[in-house]
């Protein structure tokens, strides 16, 4: 069934581009708004499959290069810091403005995304989870995807985890209080082997600095990647101030930008971001960023393999027939 849905999406996108509608939609980027793109990982398909990486978490190197070719040909790609500076000043943007961002700070950003960005001469910003730079292991949703895939549905149910597929289970776990989520994660860990592939999955500081010297910008994705809306105000402020301080110690984070972990934010989290000194913050709301938009809830368009594997699908999403212009 999923294969049929994927085929239908590709056919729709091909008809969309062949009709020329995509060129007309790009006119929406008329200098009053921009498309800010959000990626996570760039991984070969076989590596992603062996590691049970969720489809919504990666694009392949081949797809990413196709995206960059589309961006170079059809858009004006700005550094995110420049785009934000123009929004802050209320200045008009170049027509067809876009910016590229990555969340989390995966090592494959160094191994696969960076070479492609360098070849294309395209700028990008990586939002780092500062406590995790140079550490072993990945984030708990990735661990759940691996471990849940090793269990039959009835065994998941016996552990109090329901019978849903990993993406649904992960979303359900995100909604739980931190203590209850950890209890269920511990039960899953006790019942399954960790099939994590060898090697460190996240960037270390040497890799970060090498990329920074080459023009990649690094900004904050908070300190620990905790969902900020589930934390008390004092801990939210600590997450944000600590992350910003760490970046500045490394000579990074000069623009004062933040991407909310999991895209989760509310009025209290936005106020904490302002208090921590962030000039702007980004959500995962799929819309275009307009002049006059609240700067601590700027939207981004998420891109991943199962919805943007072809050039036509990329143009369906960027700037996007279905993407709202707020």
Which tens digit of pLDDT belongs to each residue from 50-77? 888 988 899 999 999 999 999 999 999 9
Would you say the pTM of this structure is higher than 0.75?
yes
**Please, which residues bridge with residue 289 across strands?**
34
pLDDT at 324: 64
pLDDT at 322: 61
pLDDT at 326: 55
In this model, does residue 136 exceed pLDDT 60? yes
Specify the 3-state DSSP secondary structure of 278. Answer: coil
Nearest of 102, 97, 67, 70 to residue 85 by alpha carbon: 97
**Rounded Cα gap, residues 313 and 187, in angstroms:** 40
pLDDT at 315: 92
Q: What are phi and psi of 39, to 5 degrees?
A: -115, 170
Domains in the chain (CATH in brackets) are: 2-137+197-325 (3.20.20.370), 140-191 (no CATH)
- Listing DSSP states for 175-228 in one string gives TS-HHHHHHHHHHHHHHS---PPSS--B--HHHHHHHHHTT-EEEES-SS---G
Tokens representing 223 are 């300190």
In this model, does residue 153 exceed pLDDT 80? no
């Amino acid at each position: 069934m999923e294969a049929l849905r994927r085929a239908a999406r590709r056919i729709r996108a091909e008809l969309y581009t062949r009709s020329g509608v995509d060129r007309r939609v790009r006119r929406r980027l008329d200098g009053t708004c921009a498309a800010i793109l959000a990626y996570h990982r760039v991984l070969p398909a076989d590596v992603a499959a062996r590691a049970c990486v969720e489809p919504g978490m990666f694009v392949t190197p081949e797809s990413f290069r196709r995206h960059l070719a589309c961006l170079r040909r059809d858009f004006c790609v700005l550094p995110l810091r420049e785009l934000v500076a123009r929004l802050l000043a209320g200045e008009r943007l170049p027509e067809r403005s876009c910016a590229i961002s990555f969340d989390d700070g995966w090592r494959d950003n160094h191994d696969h995304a960076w070479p492609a960005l360098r070849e294309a001469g395209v700028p990008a910003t990586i939002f780092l989870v500062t406590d995790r730079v140079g550490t072993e292991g990945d984030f708990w949703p990735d661990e759940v995807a691996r471990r849940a895939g090793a269990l039959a549905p009835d065994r998941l149910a016996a552990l109090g985890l329901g019978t849903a597929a990993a993406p649904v289970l992960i979303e359900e776990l995100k909604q739980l209080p931190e203590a209850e989520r950890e209890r269920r994660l511990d039960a899953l860990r006790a019942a399954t082997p960790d099939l994590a592939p060898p090697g460190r999955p996240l960037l270390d500081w040497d890799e970060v600095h090498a990329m920074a010297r080459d023009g990649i910008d690094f900004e904050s994705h908070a300190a620990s990647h905790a969902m900020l809306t589930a934390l008390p105000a004092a801990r939210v402020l600590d997450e944000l101030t600590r992350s910003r301080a760490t970046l500045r110690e490394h000579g990074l984070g000069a623009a004062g930008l933040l991407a909310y972990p999991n895209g989760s934010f509310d009025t209290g989290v936005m106020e904490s971001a302002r208090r921590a000194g962030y000039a702007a913050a980004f959500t995962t709301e799929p819309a275009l960023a307009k002049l006059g938009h609240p700067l601590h809830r700027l939207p981004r368009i998420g891109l991943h393999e199962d919805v943007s594997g072809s050039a036509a699908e990329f143009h369906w999403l960027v700037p996007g027939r279905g993407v709202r212009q707020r």
